[in-house]
């Protein structure tokens, strides 16, 4: 599933091709996504200029003159820019084409159809505080209001495993399964440890490693394990830097101990029994 680094990579890739352009038309090949595309949506967006693009958690908000486009890549989605100079015919699972006035196309590809691509009748600024998918989200991990003190305070009345705790989008957004495993390894914390049994120092380390891991992944274009590609169709390369995730049975890169798998919160987890306590 595309997580924060993959969505941020997508945002940075598509912004130069969309911002300031005008939507010529919307082509809908298959409206049956997680939330079906309403039949009036092409008429709603046609002719509108694109004012802004931003990310909130794993959502993209494309601000138009009237309303916004709310986009989520789901489990297998990707956005690809097709230029007028290099046209590409649509493939299977290319469900939407946002055609721009300069001939370029933003193409939404989603084999599993768990993604979202909707017009909403509010500006991005209002959507962030009022839209039900956005208004209850926790802080962004790369911004100043996220730190170890926030994690420590939020964990005091809870007993869930720390890995499940930091994957809760009401606590902090964008820390998916891969990045939670990697961050906990670097912080030296066992993923199954109860979140209320970690002190302020531990959460200070964890907040810093979350930032480090996410920034490193963004710099490498995200993580491609199966489906994710960026706006040009290229994969992300952070998978080559993974220290524990997906490495069960292999030696720890720090101490040589065998990486162990464990199921936590219905998700696959990986850890080093020696480095993480």
Helix 148-155 and helix 200-219: axis angle, to 10°?
A: 120
Contact assessment for residue 98 and residue 105, using Cβ atoms and an 8 Å cutoff: yes
> Is 2 part of the annotated catalytic residue set?
yes
> What is the C-alpha separation between 253 and 136, in angstroms, rounded?
38
Q: Per the residue annotation, which of 3, 6, 8, 231 is the catalytic one?
A: 3
> What is the C-alpha separation between 201 and 139, in angstroms, rounded?
20
Q: Is 112 annotated as a binding residue?
A: yes
DSSP letters for 234-271: PPPBGGGG-SSTT-TTSBPTTT-PBPEEEEETTEEEEE
Looking at the DSSP bridge assignments, the partners of residue 271 are: 260
Sign (positive or negative) of CA dihedral 164, 209, 169, 158: positive
Contact assessment for residue 108 and residue 95, using Cβ atoms and an 8 Å cutoff: yes
CB atoms within 10 A of CB 52: 16
Q: Per the residue annotation, which of 55, 56, 58, 163 is the catalytic one?
A: 58
For tokens 């130069």, the residue is 16
Alpha helices, H only, the chain: 4-18, 41-45, 124-130, 148-155, 162-166, 177-187, 200-219
34 Cβ contact list (under 8 Å, min separation 6): 72, 74, 113, 114, 115, 116
- Write out the binding residues for DNA: 93, 112, 158
Tell me which residues are annotated as active site: 2-3, 58, 267
- Write out the binding residues: 93, 112, 158
């Amino acid at each position: 599933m595309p997580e924060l680094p993959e969505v941020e990579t997508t945002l940075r890739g598509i912004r130069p091709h969309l911002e300031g352009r005008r939507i010529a038309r919307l082509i809908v090949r298959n409206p049956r996504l997680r939330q079906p595309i309403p039949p009036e949506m092409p008429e709603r967006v046609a002719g509108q200029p694109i004012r802004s693009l931003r990310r909130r958690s794993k959502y993209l908000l494309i601000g138009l003159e009237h309303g916004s486009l709310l986009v989520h890549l789901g489990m297998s989605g990707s956005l690809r820019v097709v230029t007028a100079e290099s046209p590409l015919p649509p493939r299977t699972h290319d469900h939407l084409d946002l055609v721009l006035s300069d001939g370029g196309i933003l193409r939404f590809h989603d084999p599993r159809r768990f993604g979202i691509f909707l017009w909403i009748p509010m500006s991005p600024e209002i959507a962030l505080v009022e839209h039900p998918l956005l208004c209850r989200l926790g802080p962004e991990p790369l911004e100043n209001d996220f730190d170890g003190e926030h994690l420590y305070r939020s964990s005091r009345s809870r007993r869930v495993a720390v890995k499940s705790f930091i994957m809760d989008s009401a606590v902090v957004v964008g820390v998916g399964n891969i990045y939670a495993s990697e961050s906990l390894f670097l912080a030296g914390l066992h993923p199954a440890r109860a979140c209320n049994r970690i002190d302020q120092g531990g959460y200070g380390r964890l907040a810093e490693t979350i930032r480090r891991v996410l920034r490193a992944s963004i710099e490498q274009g995200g993580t491609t394990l199966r489906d994710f590609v960026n706006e040009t169709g290229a994969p992300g390369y952070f998978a080559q830097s993974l220290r524990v995730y997906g490495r069960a049975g292999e030696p720890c890169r720090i101490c040589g101990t065998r990486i162990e798998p464990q199921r936590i919160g219905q998700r696959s987890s990986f850890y080093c029994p020696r480095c993480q306590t």
